[in-house]
Chain A
Amino acid sequence: MKNNSFLFGLQKSIPIGIGYAPVALTFGILSLKSGLSIWQAGFMSLFVFAGASQFIAVQLISQGATIWVIAITTLIVNIRHILMSFSMLRFFSGIPMSKLAFIAQGITDESFVLSAKLLEEIPTPEERSRVAIGVNLGAFCSWVVFTFIGAWMGNQLTINFSGFNFALLALFIVLTVGTVSRENILTYVIAGVLAVILKYLIPGKMYLLLSVGLAAAIGAWLKHHGKTAVGGE
């Protein structure tokens, strides 16, 4: 089962890989248009591996922003990863830090929601860590490889299949089907409403951290302090 767990995760990451490909291609193309080299674009994907912040960085570079502004902006956009890592801890009791440090690099919105769903049904921390590595590595490879391809192709390429724009959203919707239950639907609704309002009001990605943090906190509070208030119970 040891190797199977990894391959299982890798196989499940295919929809993420498909969803990342056009975004990474676009990032590669855009980077070159903004004056970066193929290597600069590729290495940003390799090390940073966080889509939105990479697009913002490229835009800031072309506007002549200082590296401090770019670093702080990146922090604001990516601080939400704390919540995801924190939430993943429960799956990996007893797993050595060296392995966790490797898993950590692959945590994104997409790999996290997929892993959170898959790992619930995997019995041991060891197998869970292998599934998580498979999921993360599949997503990571797609992002990095397609950044390089996009940068290498420059602007010779036009993608005509708009379905790619929907791939990641489709993945999230499919995961919703298996994740939302009577127990947590209230949190889902609160998070959805907050996200719409906050996304409308605040530019950037900060709405994700705020709506997820607030909704999970409210959901957990209701469960512990007001059981009658939780839908269906």
Chain B
Amino acid sequence: MQEKDYILMILMMTGVTYGARVLPFFLFREKEIGGWLKTFIQLVPVALLAALVIPEFVLLPDNHFSLLNPFLFAGICTFIFARRVPNLFLSVLFGMIVFWGLDKII
């Protein structure tokens, strides 16, 4: 790919990505959002958390189902640890170490 094409490609990728990021700010800034829509946007973070976490526990990278994998076990351990130790950094570190240990065994 030529330098000129590459720059154009970066510009287009930036345009569509940044566009998706900034468009709602442009369109709905200072607009009153209430009712159903307000509940909807409040539920987006929790829904995204689920969508990011749950598939990783049951779907392996090659897209087949498995419950015997280090992600699920390390995930459960991290969950229990985080409930007891309310520290973001420590809990993440704990999870990484447990995963590393399990990954060596499983």
Question: Which A residues lie within 8 Å of B1 (CB)?
Answer: 61
A118 closest partner in B (C-beta): B88
A78 touches B16 (CB 8 A): yes
Question: Which A residues lie within 8 Å of B75 (CB)?
Answer: 169, 173
Question: Which B residues lie within 8 Å of A124 (CB)?
Answer: none
In the bound assembly, the distance between CA atoms of A14 and B23 in angstroms comes to: 28
- CB of A177 closer than 8 Å to a CB of B: yes
Question: Which B residues lie within 8 Å of A176 (CB)?
Answer: 49-50, 53, 79
Question: Which B residues lie within 8 Å of A149 (CB)?
Answer: none
In the bound assembly, the distance between CA atoms of A81 and B22 in angstroms comes to: 9
B33 touches A89 (CB 8 A): yes
Interface size class of B (residues with CB under 8 A): 35 or more
CB within 8 Å for A100 and B49 given contacts A48-B13, A85-B20: no
Interface of A is mostly: helix
- Distance in Å: Cβ of A36 to nearest Cβ of chain B: 8
In the bound assembly, the distance between CA atoms of A169 and B16 in angstroms comes to: 26
- CB of A87 closer than 8 Å to a CB of B: yes
Question: Which B residues lie within 8 Å of A172 (CB)?
Answer: 49, 52-53
CB within 8 Å for A97 and B29 given contacts A70-B9, A167-B92: yes
Listed residue (A57, A189, A212) with the most chain B CB atoms within 10 angstroms of its CB: A212
- Distance in Å: Cβ of A220 to nearest Cβ of chain B: 4
Interface digits, A70-86 against B, CB 8 Å rule (1 contact, 0 not)? 11001100111111111
In the bound assembly, the distance between CA atoms of A70 and B7 in angstroms comes to: 13
CB within 8 Å of B: which A130-162 residues: 161-162
In the bound assembly, the distance between CA atoms of A100 and B24 in angstroms comes to: 10
Residue from the list B17, B52, B89, B92 in contact with A81, Cβ < 8 A: B17
- Distance in Å: Cβ of A42 to nearest Cβ of chain B: 11
A212 touches B8 (CB 8 A): no
CB within 8 Å for A113 and B45 given contacts A171-B88, A192-B54: yes
- CB of A163 closer than 8 Å to a CB of B: yes
- Distance in Å: Cβ of A184 to nearest Cβ of chain B: 5
A12 closest partner in B (C-beta): B88
- Distance in Å: Cβ of B24 to nearest Cβ of chain A: 4
B20 touches A219 (CB 8 A): no
* Chain A residues engaging chain B, CB cutoff 8 angstroms: 12, 14-15, 18-19, 36, 40, 43-44, 47-50, 53, 57, 61, 67-68, 70-71, 74-75, 78-87, 89-90, 92-94, 97, 100-101, 103-105, 107, 109, 112-113, 116-117, 161-167, 169-180, 184, 187-196, 199-200, 207-208, 211-212, 215-217, 219-221, 223-224
